Chains A and B, each alone.
With several copies, the nearest count.
Chain A
């Protein structure tokens, strides 16, 4: 594979797409398993938003690369080590509390992220951001409402939500990391400075957790590695299922 014309931009769009696709896929795994019919629809909604964002981003990445790879080539024909999503989004659904905490962590970041991205010097990314920001706001509102309900619901729901917070907290450091790729695009006015979004994320977290009557987990050593393809063992199984058809029947149109 040749080096794309703008490797940094390609990588940046792909990792952003990977984040949304992997999380969207996780949400789609809930199909037929949600705690209420209304929530069945809400989970599918969020999943659809994320998969839609991923499609736009992969398509754009393919254009930037200029090698003829389309959204499906990028989604279905890259290996676990090539996927660059953050670790948070690949964590299993586990129970509903884990799913909603994961969503809250992600949406509380993506909301200011897409807001900032609307000002990107890259017209395509800012265009995608314009649509995505509304979706992220809904995801944030929806997940925050659930965290409040679960935190302030029953003893069991409180305990489960606390366990989910404690378990997933370690993956939140990666949200705010900036590597060379991101920094170089920040210089060009294309990327968002993730580090600068921490205060707003903290505010959303503190406010939601306070309303939910849940303690914010203490500071601990964070895990990261997703951006360089160092994933947890969960991603490989997700990809084996997701990519099966494209791997088993290569080169066909569906």
Chain B
């Protein structure tokens, strides 16, 4: 009791909690879950975009996309490292993902069907991710907060890059503009779902707010995203696929139509359109690479023995 109170006081003073500090088990568990889900999302998120690297329509875009996907892998690395400070190993976490036991953001279960999807993902998906992640740079847990600072810097670069792809398409031929509209049509609602259920339905909201793992509610962040994004769509000359979308003068923000939470739940439940492929691909990569990891481990062991022998001699 006293410990919990003292812990809460540290949080309230905006002190960073570090890995070796005492912390409530619930706090640790929540962070492990959240950070690892976040890491898994980065890794799985490499696939929908990776799908277009070999078909990118110009060398500049090809290089930028490869670099972007590489950054996502890098984010996965920092995040697994941040989770490891809480006493789990990357191997355990990856195993949970491969077993289908761990969650990752359901946005990555949607397929990329045209080049415009690469633009839409950068613009909308990275845009939504940034809304979620900027507050995490001030998360009470130090390693997570520091990882997020680095992540956010790169994400906002990706977001601008994605928007720039959309802009190029919208300034292009009618065929290209139609491609962009089609991508917006498919990615708009899933992007809004990235913020999670309405606050009234959210499970972990309050405690996470108190622990300053979370600093804004799902609905507040979603609103912020909509308000930032709708003018961008207008600038592109694209139509947001929501007939109920309307400016609300009173609240100084947009009202949106009802979100299809049945679709959201069905994606969570069934793994979504590409969810099975995503996990299957990762499992294959793990299996195909097993002999390489074993070789590296065997070599490292031999080297250690040799050095020990040399030192003993």
Direct contact of A and B (CB under 8 A): yes
Complex: A52 Cα to B58 Cα, angstroms: 12
Instruction: Specify which chain A residues have a CB less than 8 angstroms from the CB of B171 in the assembled complex.
Output: 253
Known A-B contacts A236-B55, A252-B172; the reply to A36 vs B289 at CB < 8 A is yes
Pick the residue among A28, A76, A153, A252 that contacts B53 (CB under 8 A): A28
Selecting from B25-33, B122-130, B268-276, the interface stretch reads: B268-276
Contact B176 A252 (CB under 8 A): yes
Chain B residue numbers with a CB within 8 Å of A220 are 270
Residues of A within 8 A of B284 (CB): 33
Measured CA separation A152–B62 after assembly (Å):
36
Nearest-Cβ distance from residue A81 to partner chain B, whole angstroms: 6
Question: Is B70's CB within 8 Å of the partner chain A?
Answer: yes
User: Which one, A108-116, A122-130, A185-193, A237-245, is touching chain B?
Assistant: A237-245
Which of A8-16, A41-49, A131-139, A200-208 has 4 or more CB atoms under 8 Å from chain B?
A41-49
Contacts of B291 in A (CB 8 A): 154, 156-157, 160
| Residue in chain A with minimal CB distance to B295 | A153
Q: Are A81 and B182 neighbours in the complex by a CB distance under 8 Å?
A: yes
Cα distance A249–B172 in the bound complex, in angstroms: 11
CA A149 – CA B80 in complex, angstroms? 25
Q: Is the CB of B77 within 8 A of A221?
A: no
Shortest Cβ gap from A141 to chain B (Å): 16
Chain B residues within 8 Å of A196, by CB: none
* CB-contact partner of B288 in A31, A33, A249, under 8 A: A33
User: Which residues on A sit within 8 Å (CB–CB) of B299?
Assistant: 148-150, 152-153
B312 at the interface (CB under 8 A from A): no
B175 interfacial by beta-carbon distance below 8 Å: yes
Contact B113–A31 (Cβ < 8 Å): no
Taken together as a complex, chains A and B put the C-alpha atoms of A223 and B67 apart, in Å, by 32
Within 8 Å by CB of A150, from B273, B274, B295, lies: B295
Q: Which of A58, A236, A240 contacts B113 (CB 8 A)?
A: A236
Evaluate contact between A47 and B273: CB separation under 8 angstroms. Answer: no
Alpha-carbon distance A140/B39, docked complex (angstroms): 31
Asked whether any CB of chain B lies closer than 8 Å to the CB of A209, the reply is no
Asked if A37 contacts B59 (CB within 8 A), the reply is no
Q: Are B59 and A36 in contact (CB under 8 A)?
A: no
B115 within 8 A of A: yes
Q: Are B66 and A48 in contact (CB under 8 A)?
A: yes
Contact A246 B74 (CB under 8 A): no
Contact of B70 among A45, A80, A170 (CB under 8 A): A45
Contact A38 B288 (CB under 8 A): no
- Asked if A31 contacts B50 (CB within 8 A), the reply is yes
Number of interface residues of B (CB under 8 A): 65
Tell me if A172 counts as interface (CB < 8 A to partner B).
Answer: no
Contacts of B302 in A (CB 8 A): 152
Asked if B73 lies at the interface with its beta carbon under 8 angstroms from chain A, I say yes
Question: Closest CB of chain A to B50's CB: distance in Å?
Answer: 4
Q: How far is the CB of B88 from chain A (nearest CB, A)?
A: 16
Chain A residues with Cβ below 8 Å from B198 are none
* B292 pairs with A231, CB closer than 8 A: no
B112 to chain A, nearest CB (A): 6
Contact A51 B113 (CB under 8 A): no
In whole angstroms, how far apart are the Cα atoms of A153 and B111 in the complex? 36
Q: How far is the CB of B284 from chain A (nearest CB, A)?
A: 8
When the two chains form the complex, which single residue of B61, B66, B113 contacts A28, counting CB atoms closer than 8 Å? Answer: B66
In the assembled complex, the CB of A11 is this many whole angstroms from the nearest CB of chain B, namely 18
Decide yes or no: A167 and B276 within 8 Å by CB, A81-B182, A156-B291, A252-B176 being known contacts: yes
Contact between chains at A252 and B70 (CB < 8 Å): no
* Contacts known (A154-B291, A154-B298, A232-B277); A37 close to B77, Cβ less than 8 A: yes
Given A54-B59, A81-B113, A245-B57: A32 and B281 within 8 A (CB)?
Answer: yes
Closest to A29 in B: B54
A153 contact set on B, CB distance < 8 A: 294-296, 298-299
Q: Judging by beta carbons under 8 Å apart, are B176 and A32 in contact?
A: no
Q: Does A102 contact B (CB under 8 A)?
A: no
Nearest to B269 among chain A residues (CB) is A221
Cα-based distance from A221 to B284 in the complex (angstroms): 24
Contact B47 A75 (CB under 8 A): no
In the complex, what's the smallest C-beta–C-beta distance from B257 to chain A, in angstroms? Answer: 21
For the complex of A and B, list the 6 residue pairs with the smallest distance between their C-beta atoms, beginning with the closest: A35-B289, A153-B295, A157-B295, A35-B292, A245-B57, A44-B70
**A–B pairs, 24, beta carbons within 8 Å:** A28-B54, A32-B50, A33-B285, A39-B289, A44-B73, A51-B63, A71-B59, A72-B59, A96-B292, A149-B295, A153-B296, A153-B299, A154-B294, A154-B295, A156-B295, A167-B276, A221-B270, A223-B270, A232-B274, A233-B113, A240-B55, A241-B55, A242-B54, A254-B165
* Known interface pairs A39-B289, A233-B112; 11 further A-B residue pairs with C-beta atoms within 8 A, sorted by A's residue number: A21-B59, A48-B70, A54-B59, A76-B57, A79-B114, A152-B302, A154-B291, A157-B298, A223-B270, A236-B51, A252-B175
Residue positions of A touching B, CB distance < 8 A: 21, 25, 28-29, 31-41, 44-45, 47-48, 51-52, 54-55, 58, 71-72, 75-76, 79-81, 95-96, 148-150, 152-154, 156-157, 160, 167, 170, 220-221, 223, 225, 229-233, 236, 240-242, 244-246, 249, 252-254
